[in-house]
Amino acid sequence: MEETDFWQTKTYKNQTFLNSPEARQIRILCELTAPKKRFENRQIENTIVFFGSARSKSKEAAAAELKTVVDKIKEAGSAVNELQTELKQAQNTVKLSKYYEASAQLAQKLTEWSLTIPDEAKRFYVCSGGGPGMMEAANLGAANAKGSSIGFNISLPMEQRPNPYQTPDLSFEFHYFFIRKFWLVYLAKAMVALPGGFGTMDELFELLTLLQTKKVEKTIPIILFGTEYWERVFNFDVLVEWGLINEKDLGLFRFFDDVDEAFVYLRDTLTEHYLKD
């Protein structure tokens, strides 16, 4: 930029300044306020948030991956031992794929139901972290139901890439994790947590803490889908036993393993708290 141009450029058009550490607060405000405008344009006030592993794949993709590894082992002969780690990972991907399918099926059922709500402003929109895996499955399910869905993408060096099933004008790209978290909770009226890693745990326990401390007072039913996973990863009863949480805190979430049962629970709970006059 020429020196004369620099002094003639308005500050809010100065890209050098806007990308500087001094303008961080402005960038934060942009990520906080811009989504609000888009939601208002679409009359979106309610979301059902899906969390789960970005590493999961569809049943077909997981089966194909496993077959590839098995074929490699058959051809490897004496080098079989070198492929055992790859085989184990492929087997785990197949095991995880049932939750990818469950995420898509539940999101589709919820979207189909939501589309029957006469008042568009009261409808519930499937919302995910925008990435691959079970987040992708949730957006896919909504797309299969011919409904719109939200993707709150975050710029990361690995795994996080916007999936193609989120509605284009409801696809957001965040830089700041804490602003993304704000939007994940602000419109949320329900949460579905499927098996996942650190990111899933982070979002789940943040919401549980907000509800436990009553920083969020609205009703947000939380589903932990996949009892075999959640009960192995966390023994919530131990937290009660040690006096670290109250027994009533266990009522903040419920376990489910069946898509239809989870759908009925969410439909009835959301109807009771948000659709009755």
The CATH number of whichever domain residue 179 belongs to comes to 3.40.50.450
Q: What residue type is assigned to position 130 of the chain?
A: G
Which pairs with CB-CB distance under 8 Å and at least 24 residues apart come from 230-236?
Answer: 230/193, 230/195, 230/255, 231/255
Look at the pTM and tell me if it is higher than 0.85.
Answer: yes
Q: What pLDDT is attached to residue 128?
A: 97
State how many domains the chain has: 1
Phi, psi of 128 (to 5 degrees): -135, 175
Residue 221 lies in a domain: yes
Whether residue 83 contacts residue 76, with contact meaning beta carbons closer than 8 Å, is answered with: yes
Residue 229's alpha-carbon distances to 52, 149, 195, 209, in angstroms, are: 12, 27, 6, 21
**C-alpha to C-alpha distance for 180 and 186, rounded to whole angstroms:** 10
Q: What pLDDT is attached to residue 276?
A: 85
Residue 170 lies in a domain: yes
Structure tokens of 34?
A: 């811009």
Q: What is the mean pLDDT of residues 194-202?
A: 95
The dihedral region occupied by 146, where left means phi > 0, alpha psi between -120 and 50, and beta the remainder, is left
**C-alpha to C-alpha distance for 41 and 117, rounded to whole angstroms:** 19
Q: What pLDDT is attached to residue 35?
A: 96
Residue 252 lies in a domain: yes
Give the pLDDT band (50/70/90) at residue 159: low
Structure tokens of 60?
A: 């077909």
Whether residue 132 contacts residue 163, with contact meaning beta carbons closer than 8 Å, is answered with: yes
| Percentage of the chain modeled with pLDDT above 70 | 95
Chain position carrying tokens 């376990």:
255
| Structural domain range at position 222 | 40-56+98-275
| Closest to 112 (Cα-Cα) out of 254, 271, 267 | 267
Residue 263 lies in a domain: yes
Residue 180 lies in a domain: yes
Is 3 a residue whose pLDDT tops 60? no
Q: What pLDDT is attached to residue 12?
A: 87
**C-alpha to C-alpha distance for 210 and 156, rounded to whole angstroms:** 25
Residue 108 lies in a domain: yes
Whether residue 164 contacts residue 142, with contact meaning beta carbons closer than 8 Å, is answered with: no
Residue 2 lies in a domain: no
The dihedral region occupied by 237, where left means phi > 0, alpha psi between -120 and 50, and beta the remainder, is alpha
Residue 78 lies in a domain: no
**Mean pLDDT over each residue of the chain, to the nearest integer:** 93
Structure tokens of 218?
A: 């609205």
Structure tokens of 119?
A: 């008042």
